[in-house]
Amino acid sequence: MSPSRRAYVFACVGLALVYADQNLIAPHLTAIAEDLDLSLHDRDSKLGGEIAFAFFLLGAPASLLLGALADKFSRVKLFAWTLLLGSTPNCAALFITTYRQLYWLRALTGIAVGGAAPLTYSLCSDLFPASERTRMSAVTGIAMSLGVVGGQAISGFIGEKYGWRVPFAVVAAPGFVVAILMMFFAEEPVRGGMEDESAATCDEEMRASRSERETLIDAPSRSHGSTPPPRGAKMGD
């Protein structure tokens, strides 16, 4: 596997880890509320509403910003730093003692969630020809879905035994590893490197389509075993 293709593999693994973070709170709403001295009303409004808003408070602008930076800087390095930025607040979750701390750590994690997907799709466009991009985009989507499901499973099983804070660190630890591997063992693909190949494939498909149409047009005359009369000849001659 080439170092540039390796970048896509690392990005998909990192994307799964980033999205695994989304549902870590859901299985432990009551436990978190009791630990942080929140009432039942605050549990629903703060953990169910405000935290979700905090998650996307910085995530949406980060998606736009990193999407723009991806056009000018190394996407591999940007993804690695984004992954580190998302993993650090998760590790810090081990030391949360107040709701405010939880709120802002979730907001910081949203940066990684907002920025990881556009960077991955940008890498995909320069690593695969047009004929393969739809399939690889589906692989990217599967990585995100597996991350969400895996994160909730980790939170449910590990959190029940070791406490609601531990799943955050469990998800974060592999993120640091993937980010470091990406920095040192993956290469930035050539921008637009697949466009010539995609254009050549498109031209070939157009020629094949044109040839098929010409074959269909000529087929009736061949089936009747006749050829059109020469230009200028009379029917009676």
Q: DSSP characters for 63-81?
A: HHHHHHHTTTS-HHHHHHH
Cα–Cα distances in angstroms (integers) from residue 203 to residues 41, 163, 196, 210, in the given order: 62, 59, 11, 10
Q: Per-residue pLDDT for 90 more than 70?
A: yes
pLDDT category of residue 191 using cuts at 50, 70 and 90: confident
**Mean pLDDT to the nearest integer, 74-90:** 93
How many CB atoms are located within 10 Å of the residue 222 CB? 10
Quick one: tokens of 58? 């910085």
CA atoms within 13 A on the CB side of 51: 23
Cβ(97)–Cβ(37) under 8 Å? no
Confidence (pLDDT) at 149:
93
**Mean pLDDT to the nearest integer, 185-201:** 71
Q: What is the largest CA-CA distance in the chain?
A: 106
pLDDT category of residue 71 using cuts at 50, 70 and 90: confident
Tell me which of 218 and 58 has the higher pLDDT: 58
Quick one: tokens of 94? 């081990």
What residues contact residue 206 under an 8 Å CB cut-off, 6+ apart? Answer: none
Q: Per-residue pLDDT for 227 more than 70?
A: no
Give the span between the Cα atoms of 223 and 226, in whole angstroms.
8
pLDDT category of residue 40 using cuts at 50, 70 and 90: confident
Give which of 190, 196, 151 is closest to 21, Cα–Cα: 151
Mean pLDDT taken over the chain: 83
For residues 34, 40, 42 and 48, what is the CA-based torsion angle, rounded to 10 degrees?
90
Give the span between the Cα atoms of 97 and 47, in whole angstroms.
15
- ∠ CA 94-99-102, rounded to 5°: 45
Cα–Cα distances in angstroms (integers) from residue 28 to residues 65, 138, 152, in the given order: 32, 31, 10
Confidence (pLDDT) at 198:
45
Q: What is the DSSP letter of 119?
A: H
Which of 73-82, 112-121, 138-147, 225-234 is predicted least confidently? Answer: 225-234
Confidence (pLDDT) at 201:
47
pTM: 0.76
